[in-house]
């Protein structure tokens, strides 16, 4: 496999300082070498550089529209280029608003892609349902075709074309939804495997049901958007919005191993590592879990 690694030091989609250092923390933990050691051909594109705009007033409560909208465009173009070069796009975050760009870029390069969103949160608030105005909790709302009529015009977001249908998305690990998100998930019929389903069916059955729902013939390129706060805070505390009762490292690795085994994994986002949060031990554990997920995405098997 060929993997194109894109660092996205984004933080304006949320309010905790430090998540922009996520890519650096993952690199310092040797993520590139760990992938190379798997026999993967790694192309490291370094970190994207975003011009900082200070004149960026909120619109309808949505914070940093200009910085985020312009960054997402750069991310989209880069991810598209990497995938068109026949490389799997591994994007290291950075906050989850970066997925506006990665999913947009993936859809521009692959007609028929589907999405597995692993997260404690649904990240599908519209600007009008968001309780915080933080775009990392709205990322999907700009991309889902069925939500188009609910999304107000946001400056610097006009270029974003909704590019995925609700039926092409599967959530795994949810355990903290806002009221607006619950309405959307239910009424749009998005496949949703919360921690309740993980406990009820086990991670293997959840994965099988997810693939049955969004990729029944196993022929669609898969986008895995992995928020480290999907994992239990005991092993992933260095993140901005931790929620107790999350996935174990084993469950996270299992998801990655199974998606890797399809041979259809085409883009991976690894987001919300914030090395400034938590103790040094918590940070090291969070980064370790994230790199193990990445290794499993690109061929590392626990069976050897």
Ligand X SMILES: N[C@](CCCC[B-](O)(O)O)(CCN1CCC(O)CC1)C(=O)O
Closest CB 131 distance from ligand X, rounded Å: 5
Q: Which of 95, 181, 197, 227 is catalytic?
A: 227
Closest CA to 172 of 93, 111, 255: 255
Q: DSSP assignment, residue 164?
A: B
Stretch touching Mn ion by CB under 5 A, among 49-57, 94-102, 190-198, 210-218: 94-102
Binding partner of residue 275 among ligand X, Mn ion, none, CB cut-off 5 to 8 Å per kind: none
Active site annotation includes 269: no
Tokens, residue 270: 């690894």
Closest CB 122 distance from Mn ion, rounded Å: 8
Note whether 229 binds ligand X by CB under 6 A: yes
Note whether 257 binds ligand X by CB under 6 A: no
Note whether 120 binds Mn ion by CB under 5 A: yes
Active site annotation includes 1: no
Stretch touching ligand X by CB under 6 A, among 84-92, 125-133, 217-225, 283-291: 125-133
Site map (CB under 5 A) of Mn ion, residues 221-260, x = contact: ------x-x----------xx-------------------
The secondary structure of 81-125 as a DSSP string is HHHHTT-EEEEEES-GGGHHHHHHHHHHH-TT-EEEEESSS----
Q: What angle do CA 91, 96, 98 make, to 5 degrees?
A: 55
How are beta strands 191-194 and 222-227 bridged, if at all? unpaired
| Cβ neighbours for 254, distance < 8 A, ≥ 6 positions apart | 203, 204, 207
d(CA 286, CA 222): 24
Note whether 134 binds ligand X by CB under 6 A: yes
Closest CA to 153 of 134, 128, 178, 129: 128
- Interface ranges with ligand X (CB under 6 A): 96, 119, 121, 123, 125, 130-132, 134, 136-137, 176, 178, 227, 229, 240-241, 272
Residues tagged active-site:
96, 119, 121, 123, 136, 227, 229, 272
């Amino acid at each position: 496999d060929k993997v194109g690694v894109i660092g996205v030091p984004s933080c304006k989609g949320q309010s905790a300082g430090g998540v922009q250092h996520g890519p650096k923390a993952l690199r310092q933990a040797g993520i590139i070498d760990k992938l190379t050691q798997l026999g993967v051909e790694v192309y490291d594109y370094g970190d994207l550089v975003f011009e900082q705009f200070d004149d960026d007033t909120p619109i309808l409560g949505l914070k940093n529209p200009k910085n985020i909208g312009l960054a997402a465009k750069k991310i989209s173009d880069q991810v598209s280029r990497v995938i068109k070069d026949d490389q799997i796009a591994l994007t290291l975050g950075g906050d989850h608003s970066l997925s506006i760009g990665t999913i947009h870029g993936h859809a521009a390069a692959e007609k028929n892609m589907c999405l597995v969103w692993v997260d404690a949160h649904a990240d599908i608030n519209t600007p009008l349902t968001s309780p915080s105005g933080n775009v990392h909790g709205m990322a999907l709302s700009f991309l889902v075709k069925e939500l188009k009529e609910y999304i107000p015009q946001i400056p610097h977001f006009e270029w974003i074309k909704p590019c995925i249908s609700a039926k092409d998305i599967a959530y795994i690990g949810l355990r903290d939804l806002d009221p607006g998100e619950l309405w959307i998930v239910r009424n749009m019929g998005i496949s949703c495997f919360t921690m309740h389903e993980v406990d009820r069916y086990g991670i293997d059955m959840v994965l099988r049901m997810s693939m049955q729902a969004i990729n029944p013939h196993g022929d669609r390129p898969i986008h895995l958007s992995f928020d480290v706060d999907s994992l239990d805070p005991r092993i992933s505390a260095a993140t901005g919005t931790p929620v107790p009762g999350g996935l174990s490292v084993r469950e996270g690795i299992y998801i990655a191993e199974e998606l890797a085994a399809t041979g259809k994994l085409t883009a991976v986002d690894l987001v919300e590592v914030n090395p400034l949060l938590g103790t040094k031990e918590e940070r090291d554990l969070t980064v370790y879990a994230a790199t193990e997920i990445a290794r499993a995405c690109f061929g590392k098997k626990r069976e050897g």
